[in-house]
Structure 1
């Protein structure tokens, strides 16, 4: 059966093949072998690029599928900071979503993120993606109420405990004012963006582990805002 897919990452595999990590339209992530990549005029080599929506078929019962009948459906053109942001989004999915896992709404979220990166500022798009991904994976945080169920106070300060939520703490690093702005998807204030970046990193850290993200280093070298 033909289905839509995006290439999250690929690397050489055997003599004429590539090993690709794919995000499928059924919201799952799979590994697939793509053969026939070595030919100079191979349409597969041109198709198997990041941010290109493909139509393909997958065969096989093991951990690695065989990708066949690959055709380009839509190519998203990302440049500058948006390009580095796209690599970051891809890397987050690979690091946080195991192969074979269905993550409800992930494919649509990914498409929306790519389209937003092409047309709007990068930083709010990344924060929306990080927060949405965390909720879909089951470790999102309620930004309207603290861990005791009380509404957040715009004048208060809070501490993030990933397993519990937001704890009221007069010495906490996160002002209620900015947490509520994030909840309202209001990114006009530069301080809100700064706190949101710190907050999302703290939220993701326990799940990413100690291995650095390569895309963050690329962003840093490029002078990006990720």
Structure 2
């Protein structure tokens, strides 16, 4: 019996494959993004029962094998029921999955980001407002990519002044908005609030725009399906 590689995992996406199988994209802490074939996923006697255990937002332990980019999923064990998500939390969790699908690499370790994702799902299940948690998760991705700017000092190494406004310049840092106009200005007081993790600051429009700007080189400009659905849902309320 093939032993394979065992990893904790979360399902990010399922896709049909050939006549009766599926391809699943998994997020694992030590192997990063793992794409696997679930053979016979549409046939209960073959892989159907295995496919049914693979649900979004459910903590799993999976076992897979293979040498190429596309592995074969051998087994999956549920650690507990999927997180129960409603409303904005539901859309935020799907958005997190789409983000991960764009930034995760294969055969790379993401232990801290994996833990942050699990924590995000716990918070989204319990918290009625997902805006601050999803911004913090975006920041976790930026930290993983080594792309997060220092929020407490400017490009010259001077402490951020709460009474000033700043522009962020790639590969440089925060510059005085009175002297540079490279991007939308950011108030120093908000940068300092983000630096000490104030929830109100992370839930702000400024934090959203900052994270999106910093993530853009890594995620591209293609629209997120979850974001469009989130906006449509908000307009209907």
> Is the TM value for this pair above 0.5?
yes
Aligned to 1:21: 25
Structure 1 residue 117: Cα displacement: 1.0
1:177-196 superposed matches below 5 A: 177-188=189-200, 193-196=204-207
Contact 2:91/2:229 (<8 A) preserved = yes
Aligned to 2:96: 89
* Residue 201 (str. 1) matches residue 205 (str. 2): no
Contact 2:152/2:195 (<8 A) preserved = yes
Measure the CA separation in 1 of the matches of 2:166 and 2:91: 31
* Bigger radius of gyration among the two: 2
In the alignment, structure 1 segments of 5+ residues that lack a partner are none
- RMSD (CA atoms): 2.0
Structure 1 residue 189: Cα displacement: 5.9
CA gap 1:102/1:25 in 2 versus in 1, 3 angstroms? closer
1:43 aligned to 37, 49, 60, which one?
A: 49
TM-score, normalised to structure 1, is: 0.91
Residue deviations 1:21-70 (CA, integer Å, cap 9, x gap): 11113261111111231135832232222101112211111111111122
Measure the CA separation in 2 of the matches of 1:145 and 1:27: 35
Measure the CA separation in 1 of the matches of 2:50 and 2:170: 42
Contact 2:50/2:75 (<8 A) preserved = no
Measure the CA separation in 2 of the matches of 1:187 and 1:107: 22
Decide which moves more: 10-19 or 24-33: 24-33
Residue deviations 1:143-197 (CA, integer Å, cap 9, x gap): 111121111110010112233222221365210111111111112369x611111
Q: Which runs of 4+ in 1 moved over 4 A?
A: none
Aligned to 1:222: 233
In the alignment, structure 2 segments of 5+ residues that lack a partner are none
Aligned to 1:134: 142
Residue deviations 1:84-129 (CA, integer Å, cap 9, x gap): 1001111111111223332341211111111111112200001110
TM-score, normalised to structure 2, is: 0.87
Contact 1:143/1:183 (<8 A) preserved = yes
How many residues of Structure 1 are paired with residues of Structure 2 in the alignment?
223
* Residue 66 (str. 1) matches residue 72 (str. 2): yes
